[in-house]
């Protein structure tokens, strides 16, 4: 009887481990769209809810990492007469599609033609299928990519603004001045023409004679030339109603094929910091009536742009009169969104106790782990994602011409040699500590950082470490931690969604124009 029981248990184990048939998704292109398409072909699948309305789109969100499954592959010549078979087993997240529970699923295919899905999602020119309901397990029908994503509509961006803002912002859009400067340094690095792009917002009453302080603004990850235009119009409208002081604002587009360049000098992306400080800024100061003194040049940015404006202030301390970063990406790599990159046997996915490293939270509730985020990014494509973007900025260049990965995507194991390179060149706290004596005279009192205590990506942690490093270096700086504020509501106070922006702008103006008073609102 004992032997029979053992055999029975073994049989049950064998039955449980019997793999299901692999899920293969066939995708083609509708004849009306044309032929010869290439890019990253991605399929999204989510469990159909019985009472839900028909879905217009199925997509992945890092704020709901288990909401949709993803499978993908590269295609080089897809058209109406060809079918691409997507293997839902190897390049899939969060698990092989064959492991999905039996049931009805909504499926949609997207061809990411520019390999920028990781940066901004579906973009102009991408091909998209209708949402199709399928039953798993079972053979899937051929899914046809039958529509093309149109170019972004500025009117749609306006519609997202509060109704009382729209008329003023719409009027201000026409007043912005485009920036497009072909950079000698970047062009030489790439071997092809590279331009720095953005927008200039001029203050009311600008006559080309009176000089104004200038603010250089860099946005968060996902910012584009179009979104910077909208931000420029909002700032212009606020200057017109005197809720912001009269200054010239330059809104920089940091987006590119590899994600964001963060205007940092990089062996992979090129000398963006050099191009900004030695080419664009002198050019703009010749073109516009800018106060071309350090006390008249300021930096501000949020998230990735916050890190950018921190690094620029530390790298070029004599050039700028102050930096006002908000919720900056990690500035001390002892806490790289909850990872101590310098720890022995450091791992990107698991802490020393083997627990998953959290990455996204909502007021204490864990939303996503670093492993979930990294694995989803890897399936969506090798370019443009937040983690890959860090490597394109921070990492040494590999023998294959691409940045050396800071960690193994399969195991999470961190490469200490790459971390050492990151530390020496991009860990702001380390640079401040190492170069304190040289930096102190020009950096003293110039950093003004604000972050929420409930930051969505835990960025208050590295901010505390940077504050401690600045104190040890005896470099004056101001750090403000707004109680219970997240990454996305940091600027709001009461009914004013831009209150922090206004506070920071008036603080800059007080540096440039001592004695100037902020009018009562």
Question: 398, 420, 442: which is the final residue of a domain?
Answer: 420
CA pair distance 256, 270, nearest whole angstrom = 12
Residues 208 and 349 in one domain: no
3-class SS letters over 143-192: EEEEEECCCCCHHHHHHCCCCCCHHHHHHHHCCCEEEEEECHHHHHHHCC
Q: Are 375 and 450 within one domain? A: no
**pTM higher than the cut 0.85:** yes
Same domain, 213 and 126: no
Asked whether residue 161 is domain-assigned, the answer is no
**Domain annotation covers residue 442:** yes
pLDDT at residue 66 in the model: 85
Report yes or no on 2 lying in a domain. no
- What pLDDT score was predicted for residue 335? 98
Residues 361 and 449 reside in one and the same domain? no
pLDDT along the chain (521 residues), means of 10: 36 47 94 95 92 81 91 96 93 93 95 94 95 92 95 80 85 94 98 97 96 97 93 96 97 94 97 98 98 97 97 98 98 98 97 96 94 96 94 97 96 98 98 98 98 98 98 98 98 96 98 91 69
Same domain, 120 and 188: no
Co-location of 190 and 294 in the same domain: yes
Could you tell me how far CA 260 lies from the centroid of its own chain? 7
Pair (111, 215) in one structural domain: no
Q: Report how many domains make up the chain.
A: 3
Note whether 115 and 242 are same-domain residues: no
Whether residues 373 and 320 share a domain: the answer is no
Query: Do 320 and 468 belong to one domain?
Result: yes
CB burial string 461-486: b at 16+ within 10 A, e below: bbbebbbebbeebebebebebbeebb
Last residue of a domain, one of 381, 397, 420: 420
Beta strands in 327-476 (DSSP E): 358-362, 365-369, 447-452
Domain range for residue 361? 341-420
Q: What's residue 18's pLDDT?
A: 53
- Is 7 domain-assigned? no
Is residue 205, in this structure, part of any structural domain at all? yes
Clarify whether residues 185 and 269 are in a common domain.
yes
Pair 143, 39 in one domain:
yes
Look at residue 303 and tell me if it is in a domain: yes
Task: Please give the Cα distance from 12 to 165 (Å, whole number).
Answer: 65
CA distance 231 to 384: 22
Domain assignment of residue 294, yes or no: yes
Question: What's residue 173's pLDDT?
Answer: 92
Q: What is the CATH number of the domain that holds 502?
A: 3.40.50.1820
Count Cα atoms within 13 angstroms, Cβ side, for 99.
12
């Amino acid at each position: 009887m004992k032997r029979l029981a053992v055999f029975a248990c073994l049989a049950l184990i064998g039955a449980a481990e019997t793999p299901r048939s692999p899920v293969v998704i066939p995708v083609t292109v509708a004849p009306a769209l044309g032929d010869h398409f290439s890019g990253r072909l991605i399929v999204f699948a989510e469990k159909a809810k019985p009472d839900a309305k028909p879905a217009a789109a199925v997509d992945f969100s890092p704020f709901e990492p288990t909401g949709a499954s993803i499978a993908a592959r590269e295609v080089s010549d897809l058209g109406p007469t060809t079918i691409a078979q997507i293997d839902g087993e190897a390049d899939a997240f969060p698990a092989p599609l064959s492991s999905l529970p039996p049931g009805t699923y909504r499926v949609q295919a997207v061809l990411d033609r520019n390999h920028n899905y990781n940066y901004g999602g579906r973009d102009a020119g991408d091909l998209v299928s209708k949402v199709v309901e399928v039953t798993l397990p079972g053979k899937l029908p051929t899914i046809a990519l039958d529509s093309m994503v149109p170019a972004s509509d500025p009117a749609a961006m306006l519609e997202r603004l509060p109704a009382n803002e729209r008329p003023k912002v719409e009027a201000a859009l026409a007043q912005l001045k485009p920036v497009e400067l072909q950079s000698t340094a970047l062009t030489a690095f790439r071997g092809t023409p590279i331009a720095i792009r953005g927008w200039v917002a001029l203050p009311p009453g600008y006559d080309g004679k009176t000089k104004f302080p200038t603010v250089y603004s860099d946005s968060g990850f996902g910012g584009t030339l179009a979104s910077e235009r909208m931000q420029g119009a909002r700032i212009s409208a606020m200057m017109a109603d005197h809720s912001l002081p009269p200054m010239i604002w330059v809104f920089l587009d940091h987006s590119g094929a590899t994600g964001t360049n963060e205007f940092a000098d990089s062996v992979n992306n090129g000398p963006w910091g050099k191009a900004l400080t030695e080419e664009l800024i002198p050019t703009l100061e010749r073109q516009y009536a800018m106060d071309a003194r350090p006390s008249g040049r300021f930096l501000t940015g949020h998230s990735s742009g916050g890190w950018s404006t921190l690094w620029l202030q530390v790298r070029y301390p004599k050039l700028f009169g102050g930096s006002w970063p908000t919720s900056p990406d990690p500035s001390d790599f002892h806490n790289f969104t909850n990872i101590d990159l310098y720890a022995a046997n450091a791992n990107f996915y698991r802490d020393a106790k083997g627990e998953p490293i959290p990455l996204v939270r909502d007021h204490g509730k864990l939303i996503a782990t670093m492993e979930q985020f990294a694995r989803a990014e890897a399936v969506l494509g090798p370019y443009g994602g937040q983690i890959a973007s860090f490597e394109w900025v921070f990492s040494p260049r590999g023998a294959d011409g691409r940045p050396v990965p800071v960690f193994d995507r399969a195991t999470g194991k961190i490469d200490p040699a790459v971390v050492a390179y990151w530390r020496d060149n991009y860990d702001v706290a380390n640079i401040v500590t190492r170069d304190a004596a040289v930096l102190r005279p020009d950096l003293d009192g110039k950093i003004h950082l604000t972050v929420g205590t409930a930051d969505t990506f835990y960025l208050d942690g590295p901010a505390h470490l940077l504050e401690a490093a600045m104190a040890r270096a005896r470099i004056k700086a101001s750090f403000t931690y707004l109680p219970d504020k997240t990454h996305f509501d940091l600027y709001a106070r009461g009914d004013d969604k831009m209150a922090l922006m206004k506070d920071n702008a008036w603080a800059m103006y007080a540096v440039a124009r001592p004695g100037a008073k902020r009018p009562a609102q």
